[in-house]
Amino acid sequence: MPPADYASGLQHFFAEGIPTGRVAVVEAIAVISACHDYHHSLDEASLPQGESNKMAARESRPMIEAVGLSKYYGDFAAVENVTFSIHDGEVVAFLGPNGAGKSTTMKLLTGYLAPSAGTARIAGYDMSSQRLEGSRRLGYLPENGPLYLDMPPIALLRFFAEARGIPPSERTARIREVVELCSLEGVLGKPIGKLSRGYRQRVGMAQVLLHQPDVLIMDEPTAGLDPNQIHEVRETIRRLMDQNKTILLSTHILQEVEAMATRVLFINEGRLVFDGSVEAVTRGGRPLDQWFREMTTAAEEAVAT
C-alpha cells in the first residue's frame, strides 16, 4: 500500500479524536503497524548492504541474555547487577582483569552456577528453570575444561555423542564434521593426556560442538597456548563464525578482539562498565591495551569513591 493510503486510513481513525472501542482500536493499531513496516522496509532498503546486515543483527532475537545477574558469597559481590543481551550471529568479546567476574558471569549464563538474583537466558530459555532446554542450544567451553585424559579423542567424542542423545544414525557424520572443523584427524587415536595443550583445547571444542549448538560461550580458549596453537584455535573460531554462531568469548589476548569480535563487554569488580562496538574502542587509532588500562583504572577509581 502506498503511503497516501496509510495517511488516509490514519485520518479516518483519528478524525474524531482517539479511537475508542475494541474494534476501532485494533484497526487503528493495524494501520499504524502497516505504515511503520512500510517505512521501515524503505529505510532498510536504502541502506548499503553492510549497514542493512548490521540492522538485521541488531533486530534479531537475543540468544544470550543477562538481566540483573548477581552472585554473592556472604557480603562479597562476585557479580552484581550485570545486564546485557547478545543477538543471533553476534561475536562478542568479554574483557576484564583477573578476578573481575568474567568466569562467574559465564557460569551463571550457562546454568553452572545459580544466581543470587537476576535471570540468565540462552535462546530464550531461563537457565534456572529450563536448563535442559537451554543446554540443548548451548556449547560451553570453560577454561581448562575437563577431559578424560586416558581416552583418545575418537572414544571421547563417541561417548559424548551418546551422552548428548545424538541418534546413532547421525553420530558418525557429526563426529566426522567436528573432527574436520577442529583439525583433529592426526591425533584421533592418541590418549588425550599425551596431546599438547593446543590439541586438548581443540578436543574440548569438538566435544561442545557435537550437538550443533546455536550459542557458544568460551572462557579463555587460547589461555596458555603458544602462538601457533593460538592461530589454530582462532581459525577454528573463525570457521564457527562463518556458520553464524552466537559467540561470547573471554580473552586476555587483545589482538583476538580486533580479529574476531564486533562488540566488547568490559567487566570490573563484578560490574559491567562498558558495552559497545570494537570500532568505538579503537576510534582514533587508540591501542586496545591502552583502552584496557584506562577502563580498569577508571572502574577502580569509581569503586573506591
Q: With a cut of 50, say whether residue 56 has pLDDT above it.
A: no
Residue 224: all three cell numbers together: 596458555
Q: How would you label 152-164 residue by residue, b for 16+ Cβ within 10 Å and e otherwise?
A: bbbebbbebbeeb
Rounded-to-integer distance, Cα 262 and Cα 260, Å: 7
- Per-residue pLDDT at 283: 84
Residue 299's pLDDT band (cuts 50, 70, 90): low
- Per-residue pLDDT at 305: 56
CA angle 56, 57, 58 (to 5 degrees): 90
Residue 112: all three cell numbers together: 553452572
Cα atoms in the 13 Å half-sphere on the side-chain side of 242: 7
Rounded-to-integer distance, Cα 152 and Cα 154, Å: 6
Residue 229's pLDDT band (cuts 50, 70, 90): confident
For 88-161, list the strands marked E by DSSP: 91-95, 117-122, 125-126, 138-141
Q: How would you label 114-146 residue by residue, b for 16+ Cβ within 10 Å and e otherwise?
A: ebeebbbbbbebbbeeebeebbbbbbbbbeebe
Contact by Cβ (8 Å): 263, 237: no
pTM for the full predicted model? 0.76
Contact by Cβ (8 Å): 39, 62: no
What average pLDDT does range 221-240 have in this prediction?
Answer: 84
What average pLDDT does range 220-226 have in this prediction?
Answer: 83
